[in-house]
Amino acid sequence: MTTAPMPEFPAGFRWGVSTSAYQIEGAVGADGRGPSIWDTFAHSPGRIADGSTGDVACDHYHRYREDVGLLAGLGVSAYRFSIAWPRVQPTGAGAATPAGLDFYERLVDELLGHGVDPVATLFHWDLPQALEDAGGWLNRDTAARFAEYADLVAARLGDRVKLWITLNEPFIHMSLGHGMGVHAPGRMLLFDAFPVAHHQLLGHGLAVSALRARSGSPVAIANNYSPVRVAGDTDADRAAGAAYDALHNRLFTDPLLGLGYPDGPGFDEGVVRAGDLDVIAAPLDVLGVNYYNPTGIRAAEPDSPLPFEIVPLEGYPRTAFDWPVAPDGLRDLLVDLRDRYGAALPPMQVTESGCAYDDVPDADGRVDDPDRIAYLDGHLHAVRAAIDEGVDVTGYFVWSLLDNWEWAEGFTKRFGLVHVDYATQRRTPKSSYAWLRDRVIKP
Ligand code: BGC
Ligand code: BGC
């Protein structure tokens, strides 16, 4: 597929791809790894669309050299992966398991050997099960445990990881994992899940100090954002839009950038303690922005437990996930973040952007994915448009390098630039991989 010429990006712009541990590693029993909440959840009947688990996933734990070869072939300057907390501390507390850290050390050294910057996320949702048994992120102590784990990782890798990302999408972990129960740990607390927001943020702030004490590398967090499209023109619709925006887009970012929590459904007494907001507002070097789609919102029915109703957005092409393809939303989001936070906002990197399509190898074994090329092309033009409006965006990471285990959707959603045949673990770069390499990264 041919696309219009890609505009130039600023010198030093970081091109990368992202993955996460439980979605690709497999080897869940190797080298002393403990169980995480996702092992438990995936093995519970009825939780995962195709009944699969991440037990094997892409077997990346054993095939990381081949996967780093794919990264090198793509020409990216950075690779965002996540470290599985239960490989480092099988029960989420105590001394590190050296063999667990050895894996990430081998990975990091392999990346550096190929000129690829390691970008490490410390928490991409795979909490050690033992911590969940003690209350998980509903328990304030988990924040302290997270900082201890960050210290152990940074003590080993602090000299080589080029960018730290503390948490991945604390909003999704709170809402889907603890509010709605569709992700691990499967709690359905609705707004009683709010302590999970505060304790993750507190853990983030404590981890920032731990990382800075051990490593000179910049520190970020990766938030999920979704610009709100109000469907309807009543005051109630607009109020619902603002309520959703506060929950999805501001609940985490306002306190991170020193503004405290937005108004809205609040915290019970004793959750937010004196000094916490200062810990949470520790300066960030980069704000990671994960973007997939905007959200349509209108006023809720009177008997709804929620102060808004989510409605499908019409008029957009859709991915295999049925998500609207809306590059304009990424441009709007980046501009809005700049306008909303001004000087408090650090430079941004798009730490996830991508799409699922039903990619199938043809008779010759080739995987042609023109929809993904169109998706990436549109979203890169959107980033460039934001930069043209003066927004400081310094990197873009595609989700994902490989087709992988897509949480509650199991293996049914393929997000990769590289196709994976799960029966054989054969990797086949899709046409989007060649497009990204030849038209964007090394034109
Ligand atoms: C599709 C599934 C298909 C699978 C196997 C996925 O991307 O969503 O429908 O069975 O690929 O290739
Ligand atoms: C997550 C990824 C996930 C992707 C696609 C993001 O919310 O960080 O782990 O695979 O979205 O759903």
| pLDDT of the residue at 95 | 97
Residue nearest (by alpha carbon) to ligand 2 atom 10: 406
Q: Which of 180, 398, 399, 415 has the most ligand 2 atoms within 8 A of CB, as the residue to mutate? A: 399
User: Which residues, other chains included, contact 130 with Cβ-Cβ below 8 Å and sequence gap of 6+?
Assistant: 34, 90, 91, 92, 93
Find out whether 227 and 333 touch, Cβ atoms under 8 Å.
yes
Cα of first residue to Cα of last residue in the chain, in angstroms, is 15
Confidence bin at 129 (pLDDT 50/70/90): very high
Going by the DSSP 8-state scheme, the letter that residue 104 receives in this structure is H
| pLDDT of the residue at 5 | 78
Ligand 2 midpoint to CA 40 (Å): 19
| Whether pLDDT at 3 is above 90 | no
Domain boundaries of the chain, sorted by first residue: 14-441
Confidence bin at 265 (pLDDT 50/70/90): low
* CATH code for residues 14-441: 3.20.20.80
| pLDDT of the residue at 1 | 61
Alpha-carbon gap, residue 159 to 150, rounded angstroms: 14
Catalytic residue list: 169, 352
Confidence bin at 164 (pLDDT 50/70/90): very high
| pLDDT of the residue at 77 | 98
Whether cis (ω within 30° of 0) applies to the bond prior to 86 is: no
Mean pLDDT calculated for residue range 114-135? 99
Please, what is the average pLDDT of the chain?
A: 97
Site residues for ligand 2, CB cut-off 6 Å = 20, 23, 168-169, 172, 224, 290, 352, 399, 406, 415
pLDDT digits (tens, 9 = 90+) for 334-363: 999 999 999 999 999 999 999 999 999 999
Burial 235-266 (b: 16+ CB within 10 A, else e): eebbebbbbbbbbbbbbbbbbbbeeebbebee
Ligand 1 midpoint to CA 435 (Å): 22
| Whether pLDDT at 309 is above 90 | yes
